[in-house]
Structure 1
Amino acid sequence: MKLPRLAEIGTIQRTHGVNGELQLIWTVSFDPEEQTLESVFLTIDGIPVPFFVESLRSKGDGSSIVTFEGITTKDQAQELINSKVYAPVKKTDGKSQPYSEDLVGYTVITPDGVKHGTITHVEDFSGNLVFQVRQETGNHTLIPANPDFIRNVDEDSRTITMDIPEGLP
């Protein structure tokens, strides 16, 4: 069985109530009110095991309450505490959409092919993602990771083609 490419999205912190609910702490920017998540993978004995999400609601503090199919008691839920949570890299229209943390190491280029630099870190400023890019000169610049600026993400060449906003070095 070939596993999908996975990206870490959070950690199970603790149980919530007695009906198998769990508190999930997000390590990526995710809003269950605006996005859906049908399934995730948790590592159990070092092996990624799929879990189907039955319900997911935001707590508003960078965490959510999640219920997995088949996990109905507090005892079952306790077995999952401290598990890392992974999600498959999403595919839309045949194009792979990596999570922002997967983009570290990608080269940012302009539409005319000019290399701007390499992403060294992804910052989250109150839900606004920003790429920290190291230029060939060694200087760092911050570029908003706004979907309107991103034209293409090429996983094979590890490049992101972006319209760089005017005024950025």
Structure 2
Amino acid sequence: MGFFCTFTFNMIEKSKLLKIGSLAKPHGVTGEMLIRLLPEWHGYEPDPDFLFIDLQGGLVPFEVHAIRYRNDQDLLVILDTISTEEKARRVQSADVYIDPEELGQEPAHTEFSIHQLVGFEVTDKNMGALGPIRSVADIQNNPLIELFYKEREILVPIHSEFIVRIDMEKRQMDIDAPAGLIELYLE
């Protein structure tokens, strides 16, 4: 008598998962990857145990070793078995899915986006007029405004304790920069 063995495979169904974006590119050489979120998921902070990557039409689960938020639309992840830049490039552009319960809470909607500050005239309590905001660096937990003052690039954190007033109509922002911060850029 021969031994007969049967296996039952439970395929992961896409319909039970949520597509959150795609793998954009490797980030560094250790296998960390950038996930670009779909617009409808911007601002969410998913905390999944597993990500499901669409590889050749089938979903493959990868355990999440680390996840961090680069900004509202980008996540950086480290997954098991993907430990080099070369391995990360092999899955580049693949769609990424998660369990809908791991999406996290809907982001709070604010009256304006910090990116709307570009072009606002900035005045510091001690230094006076600094000029217009040239750009906003939306760094997770530390967004910065970029100014050019006296032909130097100045970066100032957008933090409630440094902002005195924002006038949306006049497109002006009054700040009280930390002592010595602006001078540091002028040396």
Q: TM-score, normalised by structure 1?
A: 0.50
The one of 30, 49, 58 aligned to 1:19: 30
The unaligned stretches of length 5 or more in structure 2 are 1-9, 110-187
Match for residue 72 of structure 1?
Answer: 83
Q: How does 1:17-166 map to 2 (within 5 A)?
A: 17-27=28-38, 28-32=41-45, 35-90=46-101, 128=109
C-alpha displacement at 1:127, in angstroms? 5.2
Paired amino acid for 1:3: I
The one of 3, 22, 28 aligned to 2:12: 3
Paired amino acid for 1:50: P
Alignment length (residue pairs): 97
Corresponding residue SS for 2:71: coil
Cα deviations by residue, 1:97-120 (Å, 9 ceiling, x for unpaired) = x999xxxxxxxxxxxxxxxxxxxx
More helix by share: 2
Q: Structure 2 CA distance, aligned partners of 1:30 and 1:89? A: 15
Are the aligned partners of 1:26 and 1:63 in contact in 2 as well (CA < 8 Å)? yes
Q: TM-score, normalised by structure 2?
A: 0.46
Q: Structure 1 CA distance, aligned partners of 2:17 and 2:47? A: 16
Q: 1:47–1:12: structure 2 CA closer, same or farther, 3 Å change rule? A: same
Q: 1:89–1:61: structure 2 CA closer, same or farther, 3 Å change rule? A: closer
Deviation >4 Å, runs of 4+: none
Match for residue 146 of structure 2?
Answer: none
Q: Structure 1 CA distance, aligned partners of 2:100 and 2:75? A: 20
Is the radius of gyration larger for structure 1 or structure 2?
2
C-alpha displacement at 1:37, in angstroms? 1.4
**Aligned Cα RMSD in Å?**
2.8
C-alpha displacement at 1:89, in angstroms? 2.6
Match for residue 150 of structure 1?
Answer: none
Q: Structure 2 CA distance, aligned partners of 1:60 and 1:13? A: 14
Corresponding residue SS for 1:20: coil
More strand by share: 1
